[in-house]
Amino acid sequence: MGTPVLHIGNKRLSSWSMRPWLVLKKAGIAFTETLVPLDQPETSGTLNALSPSATVPVLTVDGAVIWDSLAICEWAAERTPSLWPADAGQRALARSVTASMHSGFAALRRDLSMDLQRPIGGTDVSVQAWTDIERLLAMWALCPGGAGGFLFGQWSIADAFFTPVAARFRTYAIDLPPPAQAYVDLLLSDADYREWEKAGQAETFDAKFH
């Protein structure tokens, strides 16, 4: 296999790009990273040339083009099955909570956009976003390791999908129950996340939320 290339958006803002980046890191899959600055005059042309979705992230490897963060993570899991829980029931639950994060929680995304350069502090949160937060916390509580550890014991793709949420909760100073706060602290203390965060905080691109 040739060296995969992961095309990502701004680390400061692109939660979608963070997820597969973390997964490839945890899988031990060597890859080259290419950053596409968002909201620049050349961005549209660059994204259209990368994939039919005209979005990031995109993984290119051996002539294949894989877009969508979850599709990239599943590609990685085919090579590193330990990215999902070994138990079939837990694996199904892990895929369910991951897919829920992938496709839902629109109000939370709207009210608590990820911005790794935003000063930490509260914000107005709509009733709809609070409903999303409550649903998300209930989902975490269903997971066997959700009481302060990774959701399924060892780190998994599910944890990758909730790491940007953890960053949002910290940025906007969301008051969480102790087990949920312990999980957020665990995700944000991870060395790979901290590498991403450091790079995002150093960016100078003028871009909007993603």
Q: Could you tell me where in the chain the CATH 1.20.1050.10 domains are found?
A: 84-194
Residue 149: the pLDDT is 87
Contacts of 55 (CB under 8 A, 6+ apart): 16, 47, 67
Q: How high is the mean pLDDT of the chain?
A: 92
Lowest-confidence range among 8-12, 32-36, 45-49, 110-114?
Answer: 45-49
Return d(Cα 32, Cα 28) in angstroms, integer: 13
Report the pLDDT averaged over residues 61-81. Answer: 96
Of the chain, the percentage scoring pLDDT greater than 90 comes to 82
For 25-39, b/e burial (b = at least 16 CB within 10 A) is bbbebebeeebbebe
**Nearest CA among 64, 52, 72 for reference residue 8:** 72
How does 174-200 read in b/e, with b if 16+ C-beta sit within 10 Å? bebeeebbebbebbeebebbeebbeeb
* In the chain, ranges of CATH 3.40.30.10 domains: 5-81
pLDDT (tens digit, 9 = 90+) per residue, 135-166?
999 999 999 985 558 999 999 999 999 999 99
Instruction: Indicate the pLDDT class of residue 209, thresholds 50, 70 and 90.
Output: very low
Q: Which CATH number applies to 5-81: 2.60.120.560, 3.40.30.10, 3.30.1490.190, 3.30.930.10?
A: 3.40.30.10
Tell me the CA end-to-end span of the chain in Å, nearest whole number.
31
CATH topology of domain 84-194: Glutathione S-transferase Yfyf (Class Pi); Chain A, domain 2 (1.20.1050)
